[in-house]
Amino acid sequence: MSLLDKYYTQEHRIFRESARRFFEKEVAPHADEWENDGIVSREIWKKFGEQGFLCPWIPEEYGGVGADFLYSVILAEESVHGNCTGFFFPLHSDVVVPYIYNFGNEEQKKRWLPGCITGDIITAIAMTEPGTGSDLGAIRTTAIKDGDHYIINGQKTFVSNGILCDLVIVAAKTDPKADPPYAGVSLIVVEDGTPGFEKGRNLEKVGLHSQDTAEMAFVDCKVPVENLLGEEGKGFYYLMEELQQERIVCAIGSQIGAETALDLTIDYTKSREAFGRPISRFQYISFELAKMATEVELGRTFVDSLIIEHMEGKEIVKKASMAKYWICEMFNRVAGKCLQFHGGYGYMEEYPIARIFRDARVQTIYAGTSEIMLLIISRSMGL
């Protein structure tokens, strides 16, 4: 029994069935095509929005339904039926759009949130630069105020949803001389089509092939001051404030991936025979499956407890960092072992485990590497 079971209502269960049907009908049949294309269709975003699946947590006054975080969890869980992890709706719904809702003013919310719900606006966030990774204070992109505009210059890379996005939240320095450096970072919304804003190539990655990940360039990009999110110089603090949910979302995705990989492998080892019996009957394989099942169960209990605490409004930065570290690392261990137990077939693209294996690798890298998570945890311990 899951810790979350008592929180699910009949409405949640109806929503889950609706989501499952959508992924099976509208996503799964196109997953291979999108993997080959290196991008999902814009149409799927629109269809997803039409069903009320984008940003269901947004209040009714902006076009949402004011749903709780469990609806986002359900959508993440049911997305496995689509076999298309490159459809990055959780990034849009539960990572990027919350910046607009939590730090935007009323005019900005009314301007952008309705489109984020319908799928007319796809969002991204641009933090990483070619020469910087986890050190946000070292970013070089600048946004210098010139009258009633900011002039943005700089480069960003590894921007998820970077090709399809209609607006991107850019971390830039409005005060390049600030001390400490991160005190000069602000968040500015740049809309697609703004002169001086250029989307680069769709990057070729080890995994997540259908996820459009892009480079971006800003060359004297002129953006109205009205596009500043919150206050100048508060961008770093806003980013830190939202990372709790982002890391929980990552942990949920990895947990679902590990569960799926294990289920596929149990089924495979029961049907695959060697030396006259199912390979699941060999002691080594059965013991390894038992070990993985234990880790997956521990991960589920941990992530469910975090979901509950997060919904209760508790500050659980340390625990969220622990989950991001341990569950994402566990997913990679499980995916690797599960592929091994599929033998040569595990290395074939036609078997789902192959896609799971290569898509798993990035989980320990984005949204904060495992090493950064360990740094956060150790500092919270007073070390």
Residues with catalytic roles: 246
Angle, vertex CA 120, rays to CA 114 and CA 122, nearest 5: 95
- Taking residue 7's Cβ as centre, other Cβ atoms within 10 Å add up to 16
- Cα–Cα distance for residue pair 34/124, rounded to 1 Å: 19
Nearest to 187 by CA among 130, 147, 233: 233
Three-state SS at 57:
coil
For residue 291, what are the contacts with CB-CB under 8 A and spacing of at least 6? Answer: none
| Termini Cα distance of the chain | 37
Three-state SS at 174:
coil
How does strand 149-160 pair with strand 277-278? unpaired
- Taking residue 89's Cβ as centre, other Cβ atoms within 10 Å add up to 22
- Single-letter amino acid code for the residue at 235: G
Residue with tokens 């990552």: 250
Nearest to 96 by CA among 41, 169, 159: 169
Across-strand partners of 217? 155, 198
